[in-house]
Copies of this chain bind each other. A is one copy, B any other.
Amino acid sequence: METYDILAKVKSGDISVEEAEQYFRKKPFLDMGYAKLDTHRKVRSGFAEVIFCSGKSDVHLLNIFGKLYEEDGEVFGTRASAAQYEFIKKDYPNVQYDEISRIIKIEKPDKKKVGKIAICSAGTADIPVAEEAAQTAEYFGSHVDRLYDVGVCGLHRILSQLDILQSANCIVAVAGMEGALPSVIGGLVDKPVIAVPTSIGYGASLNGLSALLTMINSCANGIAVVNIDNGYGAGYMATQINRLGVKNEVKV
C-alpha cells in the first residue's frame, strides 16, 4: 500500500517530513490510486472495463482485448465489426460474436444472473440497440426479459406484457422514429425507465434526434434518457439500478 509505505518511512525516519510533504502535494491523486481504485471497484461491483471497438485498428483492439482478458478472465466489447471478430478469433478462438448487437466477448461460464430488467423495443429495427443493452446487462449479471416489437401503434402488444414490466426493477425502453414508447411504459410501472432513442427512421427523424427530444419531453414520471443508439449505456445504468433492488432480494 503506497500511502502506508510513505508514512511508515516517515515514521522510521527513512524520508524526511519535507520530502513526504512534497510527495503528498504532488501525488495525492495517484496516492488515492484511481487506477487501483478502479480495479477495486471492478472487483467489488462487477463492472469490468468495456471496449468500444468501433474505429480501433485491428492490432490496437487485439492488444486491449488480450490485456483485459488476461486481467479479468473475461472481456466484453461493443460495436465490433465482423472483420474485427475474424481478426481476434485467430488469437482467441473462444471469442463469441453476435452479429445483431455487434457485441464481441469471452465470458466466464455459469455466470449467475440476479434481479430483473425488462428491455423493450418499439420495432424490430430497434432490436440491435435493445440487444446491446440486454447483453450488456446480462454480462454484468442481471437477469433480462426481452419485450420486442411492442411499439405504441399497437398498444395491445405492450399491454399484454404488463406482468413482466411491473415485476422488473428497471425498464429499458428503446425506440426510434417518434420515440413514444417510454412515455407509455412510464405510465404503466412504478420503477425507473431508461429511455434509449435510436437512429431508426428517415426524413424528420434527424437520425434519432427527434426520438431523443420526445423522450426528454416525456410527461410521464420516472424517465431519463441516454444518447441515441446507446444500448450499452442503458444496460449499464439498468444494472446499477437492478443491483440496488437485488441486494434486498438476495439477503432476505
Contact stretch, chosen from A65-73, A84-92, A102-110, A153-161: A153-161
Would you call B187 and A154 a contact (CB within 8 A)? yes
Would you call A216 and B204 a contact (CB within 8 A)? yes
Q: A220 — which chain B residues lie within 8 A by C-beta?
A: 152-153
Would you call B227 and A202 a contact (CB within 8 A)? yes
Q: Which residue of B lies closest to A29 (CB)?
A: B159
Q: Does chain B have a CB within 8 A of A184?
A: yes
Known: A13-B11, A28-B31. A216 touches B226 (CB 8 A): yes
Question: Interface size on A (CB < 8 Å)?
Answer: 104
A45 to B223, CA, bound (A): 16
Q: Does chain B have a CB within 8 A of A95?
A: no
A230 to B129, CA, bound (A): 24
Interface hits, A144-184 → B, CB 8 Å: 151-157, 159-160, 162-163, 169, 177-180, 183-184
Would you call B214 and A178 a contact (CB within 8 A)? yes
Q: A38 — which chain B residues lie within 8 A by C-beta?
A: 154
Q: Mark A6-49, 1 if CB is under 8 A from B, else 0.
A: 01101101000110110011111111111101100100110100
Would you call A32 and B21 a contact (CB within 8 A)? no
Known: A225-B226, A240-B190. A213 touches B214 (CB 8 A): yes
Q: A155 — which chain B residues lie within 8 A by C-beta?
A: 29, 34, 155, 159, 184, 187-188
Q: A219 — which chain B residues lie within 8 A by C-beta?
A: 122-123, 151, 153, 177-178
Q: A122 — which chain B residues lie within 8 A by C-beta?
A: 219
Known: A213-B204, A227-B216. A180 touches B191 (CB 8 A): no
Would you call B236 and A222 a contact (CB within 8 A)? yes
Q: A34-B156, A37-B156, A221-B236 are in contact. List 16 more A-B contacts (CB 8 A).
A: A3-B25, A10-B11, A24-B28, A25-B31, A28-B28, A30-B156, A152-B184, A153-B183, A178-B183, A191-B240, A203-B212, A223-B233, A224-B224, A241-B241, A248-B248, A248-B251
A-B CB contact pairs (8 Å), 5 listed: A47-B190, A155-B155, A178-B218, A191-B240, A204-B227
Of all A-B residue pairs in the complex, the 3 with the closest CB atoms, nearest first, are A203-B228, A28-B28, A34-B156
